[in-house]
Structure 1
């Protein structure tokens, strides 16, 4: 890799690609990250940016001061191999940066699209394979977000899928029920009722819509990711019967 190529590593994507590709192919340049120190030269009225302050110098600066929602990305250094296995001293390519969520949004969007999300599972109030016409069933599910810890462009991040909408299809041709909550027990205000007005054998299908968020690991603020994902879950067949009314002598 030429000196001109080294100087062109401006974006985080280009820098991470260079680190990931170090030591492979025909490249004679190895990249790594290390905190950039600013060393005060005792004998001179000057400072020097270095990987480490050597004997005879004092540290005048040892990193960036980033806010609580940012990440201090250490400086990028390059070491160029020379003939005979010799190496040049490490060369500073980039002094590092306070990486913000905005810098990672595109990468986080791609990661969320590829994130494996387990379907939200349907639970019935009574776990049985039958129901009564018009009494029907009361399904519910869990609304726990799903988390993924990963690294984007050299920055540790957490990505989460948050359930935002639930579509309950009773499977009998009647209109699906759409909620923004996961349901609840049959005798609570959040209960979901699928009445089944006619006898037959049906299965409930739940389609869950998930929204994505991410944050830099250890920071407090979650940032929304564009787009959404869906998952589905289906119950076993449920036989819906007419209720038989009988007169019983006391």
Structure 2
């Protein structure tokens, strides 16, 4: 069993392939991480939105760093697979904050992070990426640094120049130390292929209903496919369906198909 940080980091890097892209069904708490791992996940990724919701905060840099780090630590301790953490913009305002977050993520047991640009100037994320890389180097850790570009997710800028802007940001972020580039919000195969052709590091996209399959994305040049907050959203929708059925009709059919209690409970034996 792979147990050391260098071994897990090496394994995590090796999973980014075009022949079999790394498929990540993002977790938001220990239970979801254990369920996803038991389904055969080679790695566990967190969703910052799902984590924030589970802890009573909205998404978007509202969660306190300490809460995020504690959750990452709990997940990393509960699974054998390598863990990569979505840390939004880095949970901080300046270089010292970003360094503290990354140092904390490594101490929590993760081997990778996502850091996003959002609506910040691209140069600001480049600085944060460089700081994150320096913090990992100081810790003597191999950290997979995934830079998220939100041009498509947020519809930033002119649609006619969005691809060129995305590629420009990607080059800037790779130069700053990014090991991978994450472009959520794009499902058009022509755009995905163009991104993959011009981006020198593993390309990560986010899948949703109607998107190409994992294998099809691999054929387009994608090395990593994430579900983002989608699994958490589906889980909360299941909870709402069951509640509405109970309150409105007094019935319980929505509970059919749930994981059997003994099977779910057994996932946590030996985790305390």
Pairwise same-fold verdict (TM > 0.5): no
Structure whose residues are more often helix by fraction = 2
Looking at secondary structure, tell me which structure has more strand per residue: 1
Higher relative contact order at CA 8 Å, sep ≥6: structure 1 or structure 2?
Answer: 2
Larger radius of gyration: 1
